[in-house]
Chains A and B, each alone.
Chain A
Amino acid sequence: MDKNYDVIIIGAGVAGALIADKLAKKWKVLLLEAGEKGRERVELVGSYLTATAQTLGSPYKPVPAPAKNMAPSPDGTNDYYDQPPGTENPMVFKSTYERRVGGSTWHWLGNCPRLLPSDFKSNTLYGFGKDWPITYDDLEPWYCQAEKELGVAGDHEQLNGLFGAHRSQAFPMNRIWPSYSDLKVAEALQGAAQQWSDFNNEPMVLFCTPQARNSVPYDGRPVCTGNSSCVPICPVGAKYDGSVHVNKAVANKATLSEKSIVTRITAAKDGSITGVTFIDWDGREHSVSAKLVVLAANAIESPKLLLLSGLANRSDQVGRNLMDHPQGEGLCVSREPLFPFRGPPTTSGIDKFRDGAFRKDFCAFRMSMGNDGGGRTQSPANVLNQLLKTDFGASLRTKLREKVIRQFRISFLAEMKPLPSNRVTLSSQVDDAMIPRPKLSFNVDDYTMKGFDRIADVMRSILLALGSKPEDLVLPNHSTPFLAAGHIMGTCRMGTDPNDSVVDAECRSHDHKNLFIAGSSVFPTGGTANPTLTIAAISLRMAQSIDNQLKMSQT
Chain B
Amino acid sequence: MEDLFLKLSAILTGFDDLDPKLGSLYYKELMKASGPPFTALLQTFSSKVLGHAASTGHPASADQPAPAGNPEDLLRENIWNVMDFQILSQAIINLWYTATLKLGNVTWVAPPEAYFDSLLWRAIEAHPPAVSGGYFGYWRYPPEN
Contacts and interface: CB of A to CB of B under 8 A. Distances in A.
Interface of A: 45-46, 48-52, 177-180, 183, 215-216, 223-229, 233, 235, 337, 339-344, 347, 371, 373, 380-381, 384-385, 388, 392-398, 400-401, 404-405
A226 B126 CA distance: 11
Contacts, number: 139
B1 interface: no
B41 interface: no
B136 A215 contact: yes
Nearest to B137: A177
Nearest to A238: B136
Given A179-B139, A404-B124, A229 B129 contact: yes
A339 B13 contact: no
Contacts of B97: 381, 384
A341 B120 CA distance: 11
29 contacts: A177-B137, A177-B139, A183-B140, A223-B136, A225-B138, A226-B137, A227-B127, A227-B131, A227-B132, A228-B130, A235-B130, A235-B131, A340-B124, A342-B134, A342-B143, A343-B139, A344-B139, A384-B94, A384-B120, A388-B90, A392-B90, A392-B93, A393-B13, A394-B72, A396-B14, A397-B15, A401-B124, A404-B123, A404-B124
For this complex, into which size category does the number of interface residues on chain B fall?
35 or more
A398 B143 CA distance: 16
A contact patch SS? loop
Contact of B126 (A45, A233, A339): A339
Contacts of B126: 228, 339-342
B6 to A, nearest CB: 15
A228 B129 contact: yes
Interface in B109-145: 109-112, 115, 119-121, 123-143
B89 interface: yes
A371 B143 CA distance: 14
A180 B93 contact: no
A347 B98 CA distance: 26
A224 B136 contact: yes
Interface string B77-118: 000100000000110011001101000000101111001000
A400 B123 contact: yes
B12 interface: yes
B129 A401 contact: no
B68 to A, nearest CB: 19
A388 B94 contact: yes
B132 A228 contact: yes
Contacts of A50: 109-112, 115
B126 to A, nearest CB: 4
Contacts of A179: 139-140
B40 interface: no
A392 B12 contact: yes
Contacts of B54: none
Given A226-B138, A341-B121, A396-B93, A233 B130 contact: yes
A341 B129 contact: yes
B125 A339 contact: yes
B11 interface: yes
Contacts of A394: 14, 72
Given A50-B112, A341-B124, A380-B124, A180 B141 contact: yes
